[in-house]
Chains A and B, each alone.
Chain A
Amino acid sequence: MSAGEMRRVTAINNGTVIDHVPAGSALTVLRMLGISGDRSSPISLVMNVPSSKHGRKDIIKVEDRELTQDELDRLALIAPKASVAIIRSYSVAEKREVSIGAELVNIASCTFSNCITINPREPQDHRLRVVNSDPLELRCRYCGRPQEMDELIDNLL
C-alpha cells in the first residue's frame, strides 16, 4: 500500500488490514468473515482505488480485531491474492498469506439444487474440493458438480 493510498483512511492502532481485495468485493469479504456494522470498533473500507498489480482494488481495515488464519483462509474464495497485515501499536506486527487448501470446509454450500447437502438438516460438513487454485475451480465433494463462483457467493455459510 502506497502512502497515497494510506491517506484515504487513517492508520489503525490495532487490528487487521486486508489489501489487494478484488475491486468491488470488500462488502462480500466482510460478509464472509462475519463482520457486521454492529460491532463497536471501526471498520474502514476503501473501494476501487488504483492498484499497480491489479488495476483496481479494495482495502479493508478492521480495528481491534486480529483475524485468525482460519478466517483468512475463507478469503481465498473471492480474494485469493489478498495480503493481510496484523497491526499492533500502529506497526505491522505480522504479515499473513491467504492460502487455499485442498478443500473448503463449511465456507459455502454446494450450489446444485439436487445435491444431498441441500437438506439443511443433514449434519455433515459442507465440503468443496479445490480442483484448481488459479483460476479457482471448486467441486462439491459429494455430488461432484463444478461450482459457479457467482452462485457460490450466495451460498456462503
Chain B
Amino acid sequence: MDDDLITMDDMTNEEIVSLLKDAERLLPVAHGLEYLPLLQGKLLANMFFEPSTRTRMSFETAMKRLGGDVVNLGDVNSSSAVKGETLYDTMRMVDGYCDIAALRHPRQGAAQYAADACAIPIMNGGDGAGHHPTQTLLDLFTIQQAHGHLEGLTVALIGDLRYGRTVHSLSHALARFDCNLIFISPAQLAMPVDIVSDLIAAGANITETEDLYGSVPDADVIYMTRIQKERFPDEDEYMKVAGIYKLTAADLSGAKGEMIVMHPLPRLNEISSDVDETRHARYFEQAFNGVVARMALMCRLLGVAIPSGDV
C-alpha cells in the first residue's frame, strides 16, 4: 500500500480485504468496550477546507479511540486560507506539526497535491468532485457486514452521480470486485463519461437508467445520495432535479430480504423516515463504520500492527 490514500487505486483488492478484517477486529474499540491505545503519542491533523460533520468527527473519534490526539484546521473562514495562503504552505506547516493528516478541499486534486508536498501520510477526505476513498472503505465494510462478501453483488447507485465523489470512488472499488453496477440519475447528473469509460475498460458491468423503482428487485445494495446544491453552478439548475428520487418503505416491498439501503448522509428528502424502521436501512450503521474503517486505515498508514484475535 502507498504511504497515502488519495484514490482507491492506492490499494490492491487484497489490501482492501485485509483492511476490512482489521476494521472488524477494531469494532469493540470503536464501541468503547476495549481501550487499545495503539496510536498513543500520534497526532492527526484534520484539515477540512469544506464543511464536514461525519467525516471530520469520525477521523477524530477514530484517533482518540486509539489513544492519539487531533488538531483541527478550525473554521476555514478564520484560517490562513482566507488570507490567501497556498495549500502548499499550509500543508508544509502541518507536515511539521503532525504525524498524519486528513484533508477535505473544494478543489479537485488537492489531496494528491498535499501528498506531494508532505512527508506524513495524507488521507483524502474528499477533493471537489474527485474522490472520497475513506468513505469507500466504510461503504465496503458495511456491504461486507451485510452480505458476507463483496464479489458479484448488484449495487444500484442513485442520485447525483455527476458531482458525487462518494459514488465515483465506490464505483471504482466495486468494479474491481466484479459487482454489477446500476447507475440511476437524471441525465444532467449522470456519471461522468470519463469515469464510465474507465469502469468499462476495467471490465465493469454497468446499466444506466433514470428508473429507480424498477431496479429495486434486482439490487443487493441501494445506495442513495443527496443532490448536492453546493455543487451546482446556479439555483435554477438545482431546482430542476432537487427531490427527483424519494425512497419510501412501500417502494421496498419487492426488494430482496437481505438488500440494504445505504446513504453517505446527510440526507434531505431522498430517503423517507419510514425506511429507517425497515430491516433494509443501514445508513446509521454505515456512519458508525466510518470510525472503524478510519481506525484501521490510520494504523496501516502509520505502520502500526493491530494485535490479532480478541482485542
A116 with B110: CB separation less than 8 A: yes
Task: Report which residue of B86, B112, B113, B194 has the largest number of chain A beta carbons within 10 angstroms of its beta carbon.
Answer: B113
Give every chain A residue within 8 A of B110 (Cβ-Cβ): 116, 142
B108 with A123: CB separation less than 8 A: no
In the complex formed, the residue of B with least CB distance to A117 is B109
A140 with B86: CB separation less than 8 A: no
A144 with B86: CB separation less than 8 A: no
A144 with B7: CB separation less than 8 A: yes
In the complex formed, the residue of A with least CB distance to B116 is A124
Interface residues of B in 229-247 (CB under 8 A from A): none
Please report the C-alpha to C-alpha distance between residue A61 and residue B131 in the assembled complex, in whole angstroms: 46
Give every chain A residue within 8 A of B7 (Cβ-Cβ): 144
In the complex formed, the residue of A with least CB distance to B114 is A116
Give every chain A residue within 8 A of B107 (Cβ-Cβ): 114-116, 118-119, 143
Interface bin, chain B: 20 to 34
A121 within 8 A of B: yes
Per-position binary interface string of chain B over residues 129-143, scored 1 when its CB falls under 8 Å from any chain A CB and 0 otherwise: 111000000000000
A122 with B88: CB separation less than 8 A: yes
B87 within 8 A of A: yes
A24 within 8 A of B: no
In the complex formed, the residue of B with least CB distance to A123 is B88
A124 with B108: CB separation less than 8 A: no
A116 with B105: CB separation less than 8 A: yes
With A116-B113, A117-B113, A122-B113 known as contacts, the answer to whether A145 contacts B86 (CB < 8 A) is no
Give every chain A residue within 8 A of B109 (Cβ-Cβ): 110, 115-117, 140-144
**With contacts defined as CB atoms under 8 Å apart, how many contacts are there between chain A and chain B in the complex?**
60
B32 within 8 A of A: no
- Give, as a whole number of angstroms, the nearest-CB distance from A125 to chain B: 9
Please report the C-alpha to C-alpha distance between residue A110 and residue B108 in the assembled complex, in whole angstroms: 11
B108 with A114: CB separation less than 8 A: yes
Please report the C-alpha to C-alpha distance between residue A23 and residue B127 in the assembled complex, in whole angstroms: 40
A145 with B108: CB separation less than 8 A: yes
In the complex formed, the residue of B with least CB distance to A125 is B116
B11 within 8 A of A: no
B309 within 8 A of A: no
B128 with A143: CB separation less than 8 A: yes
In the complex formed, the residue of B with least CB distance to A141 is B112
- Give, as a whole number of angstroms, the nearest-CB distance from A135 to chain B: 14
B116 with A116: CB separation less than 8 A: no
A142 with B117: CB separation less than 8 A: no
A143 with B87: CB separation less than 8 A: no
A114 with B128: CB separation less than 8 A: yes
Please report the C-alpha to C-alpha distance between residue A122 and residue B85 in the assembled complex, in whole angstroms: 9
B96 within 8 A of A: no
Interface residues of A in 98-157 (CB under 8 A from B): 110, 112, 114-119, 121-124, 140-146
> What are the 10 closest A-B residue pairs judged by CB atoms, nearest first?
A142-B109, A143-B109, A143-B108, A116-B107, A116-B109, A116-B110, A116-B113, A142-B112, A142-B113, A115-B109
Chain A residues packing against B (C-beta within 8 Å): 110, 112, 114-119, 121-124, 140-146
Listed by A's residue number, 19 A-B pairs whose Cβ atoms lie within 8 Å are A114-B107, A114-B128, A116-B107, A116-B108, A116-B110, A117-B109, A117-B113, A122-B86, A122-B113, A142-B108, A142-B109, A142-B110, A143-B112, A143-B127, A143-B128, A143-B130, A144-B108, A144-B131, A145-B108
